[in-house]
Amino acid sequence: MEKVSITIDGKPIEVEEGSYVLQAAEELGIKIPTLCYYEHMTPYAACRICSVEARDGKGWTKIVTACNYPAWDGLQIFTDTPRVITARKVNLEMLMSHCAPAPVLQELADELGVKEPRWGIGTDTCIMCGLCVRICDEVVGAHALTFSSRGIDREVSTPFKLESEDCILCGACARYCPTGHIRMTDTNGRILHSELTLGPNTAISIPFRQAIPNAPRIDPDYCIHMATGGCKLCSKVCPKECINYEDKDEFEELEIGAIIIATGFQDFDPTPMQQFGYGKYPNVLSSIEFEQMNNAASPTDGKILMENGEEPRSIAILHCIGSRDEDHHKYCSRVCCMYALKFAHLVKEKTNAEVYQLYIDMRTFGKGYEEFYQRILTEGVNVIRGKGGEIVPAPPEYSSEGNLLVRCEDTLIGKFREIPVDMVILCTALEARGDAEDIARKFNISTGADGWFIEAHPKLAPVSTTTEGVFLAGVCQGPKDIPDTVAQGTAAAAHSIRLLNMGEVLMDAAYAEIVEEFCSGCRICNGLCPYNAITFDEEKKVSEINSALCKACGTCVAACPTGAIKARHFTDDQIYAQIEGILA
């Protein structure tokens, strides 16, 4: 492209031929107001607010829109002639007579000195800037929005005003709508506790604070480009050209010296326990849902709210949901008592709600835990010894106290109780991940009956596994709280470092070897070795074992017809001797 010289308000500038006047003005720091321009979309020139006067210096003059007027050599642009000011003012006044006074219009009115629009103020919240239609069309590439009808009836809608199949729910239209005409709503503005998420709500984010590398990555589930092939805004704004859309998850082979398995747990799903009505009554929450709502970064800004957006009047916290339960998990999940007490504390801190704790046994075994429990008791939390039995909708006579009724047996007073509450929190069990079995098989370790990984020794080797160099950390080994997890993780790290720092690997003394004189060269052993450790020496006509590869399983030893293979530490003689000794 050739460079051309133009002037804007007398200031000269060199720009590429055909580039738009608005961009040149921006470079010069001359502000031209606009309502429908966005740098990453084709100029639409619908609002006409960016009108400027173009002259050629020979008498020709014309009002043009700066956002899409191409520069040519000798072009003179004037942004503040009376004709331009009138054009902008009148256009804004006309727009205001149709549209509700959105802040973006009000600001512009102040800027242009429009005090009272002559033709009144309208009610339509849409200013027809077309940003939404264009972003959907050009940037997102979903083509889900369009203008329908014409003239004064013109409006933004999906084709035929039907729910669009092409909409990918990216929210770009709402994000770029300058007046709030387009909004993202969930179903009727209700708060769906099960859908509140804490995660980053943009497609590009650093996954978590401690991530390594500590760099942003694109979440393909939310990336518009991945969904439609459009957008690519990030690559347009990244000055270092770091965006790589081609990057994919890939398999890499790493040579490592130790493995720490820290796969954690999954939440017990209380839905099958129908007596608690989870999934049926909107205000029955699992503990993690409550935790998410409670977070300051949650969509409710950390407020404790019911589905209808109101603050609950009372909350029941039910312990041991799925834990210590013959029908589900027999073990104690260990962490629930303490977080339930924390919940009670937070509810008391944030709301005026009554809190009921329904527990089987209060297990506050850690350092400082019992003290915390005692403090909660002084905060006026109702503590009831007895497991919650059933949750039903509260009959009308309880409506002043709560919408739900928790039935339980208070074992201390030996009475059956019905407690009306607005919200119920189920302290669900920690359970082994569904894919723990697969992981166990991959690393040659074992899982227990509950699915937790088994340590090499419950007392003496709680971090190691039966596979050398593979260590366990955290809840994947069994329920534990944060201090315990940190301790185990640290231990696993220390074990790993020890292995890595040794530099040389201590080989197990147990491996098999072939006594050359006895080997007949039958090669039966060759095919049996799972580690391909046995090779045949063509010259000597005997088989040989690579002792570094041998894992000492002894399969070859048992198969050798001439008894030429000896398993060190497990030789035939040794075993026969053992047998002899045992049976003597």
Partner 1 sequence: MNNNKFTSPEDLNRLRERLVKQREEGRIIITVCAGTGCLACGCEAVTAAFREALKENQLEDKVEIRTTGCHGFCERGPLVVLRPEGTFYQRVKPADAKLIVEQTIKHGKLVNKLLYRDPQTKEVIVKEDDIPFYSKQMRLIFGMNGHMDPTSINDYIALGGYQALAKALLTMTPEQVIDEVKKSGLRGRGGGGYHAGKKWASCRRAKGEPKYVICNADEGDPGAFMDRSLLEGNPHGVIEGMVIGAFAIGSHDGYVYVRNEYPLAVKNLNIAVDAAREHGFLGDNIFGSSFNFDIDVSRGGGAFVCGESTALMASLEGKIGEPRAKYVHTVDAGLWDKPSNLNNVETWANVPLIIEKGADWYSRIGTASSKGTKVFALTGKINNTGLVEVPMGITLREIIFDIGGGPPKGKKFKAVQTGGPSGGTLVVETREPKVHESLVAHGDIRDEEEVVSLLDLPVDFDELTKVGSMMGSGGMIVMDQDSCMVDVAKYFLNFLQEESCGKCTPCREGLRITLEILTRISEGKGQMEDLDTLEEISQVMIDTCLCQLGGSAPNPVLSTIRYFRQEYLAHIVEKRCPAGVCKELVSHAIDETCTGCHVCFSVCPTNAIIGQTKTLHVIDQDACIQCGACYQLCRFDSIKRVKRGEGDAIQYVAKEKWHPPVKKKAAAVA
Partner 2 sequence: MTNFEPKILGILCNWCSYTGADLAGTARMKYPANMRSVRVMCSGRVDPGFIFDALRAGADGVLVCGCHPGDCHYHEGNYKCMRRIPLTKILLEDMGIDPRRLRLEWVSASEGARFQQVVTEFTEELRALGPLKLRELNFDPDHPAGGDNHVAVESAAHDELEAGH
- Residues lying near partner 2 in the complex (CB under 8 A) are found at 441, 444, 446-449, 454, 457-459, 466-467, 510, 522, 524, 527-528, 530-531, 551-555, 557-559, 561, 567, 570, 572, 575-576, 578-580, 582-584
Tell me: does residue 19 bind partner 1 (CB under 8 A): no
Contact stretch for partner 1 (CB under 8 A) within 84-92, 286-294, 329-337, 475-483: 84-92
**What's the closest the beta carbon of residue 266 comes to partner 2, in angstroms?**
19
Contact stretch for partner 1 (CB under 8 A) within 43-51, 191-199, 387-395, 544-552: 43-51
Contact string (CB under 8 A) for partner 1, positions 235-254, x = contact: --------------------
382 torsion bin: left (phi>0), alpha (psi -120 to 50), beta (else)? beta
Q: Which two tokens stand for residue 283?
A: 């205000």
404 beta partners: 393, 421
514 beta partners: 565
87 or 553: CB nearest partner 1: 87
Three-state secondary-structure class, residue 80 = coil
- Packing angle, helices 336-350 and 369-378, rounded to 10: 40
- How far are the Cα atoms of 81, 111, 244, 417, 569 from residue 87, in angstroms, in the given order? 10, 14, 45, 75, 98
Which helix (H) or strand (E) element contains residue 300? none
What is the CA angle 141-146-147, rounded to 5?
155
Tokens 């009724």: give the residue. Answer: 405
Q: How far is 33 from 355, CA to CA, in rounded Å?
A: 55
**What's the closest the beta carbon of residue 445 comes to partner 2, in angstroms?**
8
**What's the closest the beta carbon of residue 91 comes to partner 1, in angstroms?**
5
Tokens 């607010």: give the residue. Answer: 49
Q: How far is 379 from 349, CA to CA, in rounded Å?
A: 10
Q: Indicate which of partner 1, partner 2, none lies near residue 158 (CB less than 5 to 8 Å, by partner kind).
A: none
Instruction: Give just the sign of the alpha carbon dihedral 160, 165, 169, 172.
Output: negative
Tell me: does residue 65 bind partner 1 (CB under 8 A): yes
413 or 558: CB nearest partner 2: 558
Three-state secondary-structure class, residue 12 = strand
Residue 366 near residue 481 (C-beta atoms within 8 A): yes
Tell me: does residue 145 bind partner 1 (CB under 8 A): no
Residues 153-182 contacting partner 1, CB under 8 A: 153-154
Contact stretch for partner 1 (CB under 8 A) within 60-68, 166-174, 233-241, 464-472: 60-68
**What's the closest the beta carbon of residue 553 comes to partner 2, in angstroms?**
4
421 or 557: CB nearest partner 2: 557
Tell me: does residue 118 bind partner 1 (CB under 8 A): yes
Strands (E), 75-119: 76-78
CB neighbours of residue 243 within 10 Å: 17
Q: Indicate which of partner 1, partner 2, none lies near residue 551 (CB less than 5 to 8 Å, by partner kind).
A: partner 2
Amino acid identity for residue 84 in this structure = V
Q: Indicate which of partner 1, partner 2, none lies near residue 86 (CB less than 5 to 8 Å, by partner kind).
A: partner 1
* CA 204 distance to own-chain centroid: 11
154 or 236: CB nearest partner 1: 154
Q: Which of 1, 29, 59, 152 binds partner 1 (CB under 8 A)?
A: 152
Tell me: does residue 87 bind partner 1 (CB under 8 A): yes
Q: How far is 132 from 337, CA to CA, in rounded Å?
A: 50
Tell me: does residue 414 bind partner 1 (CB under 8 A): no
Q: Indicate which of partner 1, partner 2, none lies near residue 130 (CB less than 5 to 8 Å, by partner kind).
A: partner 1
* Per-residue DSSP letter, 89: H
**What's the closest the beta carbon of residue 493 comes to partner 2, in angstroms?**
24
Q: Indicate which of partner 1, partner 2, none lies near residue 335 (CB less than 5 to 8 Å, by partner kind).
A: none
Sequence-ordered list of residues with C-beta below 8 angstroms from that of 91, at least 6 positions apart, any chain: 47, 48, 49, 51
Nearest to 31 by CA among 23, 42, 40, 20: 23
47 or 317: CB nearest partner 1: 47
Binding site for partner 1 (CB under 8 A): 43-49, 51, 63-65, 68-70, 83, 86-87, 90-91, 94-95, 97-98, 118-119, 128, 130, 146-147, 149-154
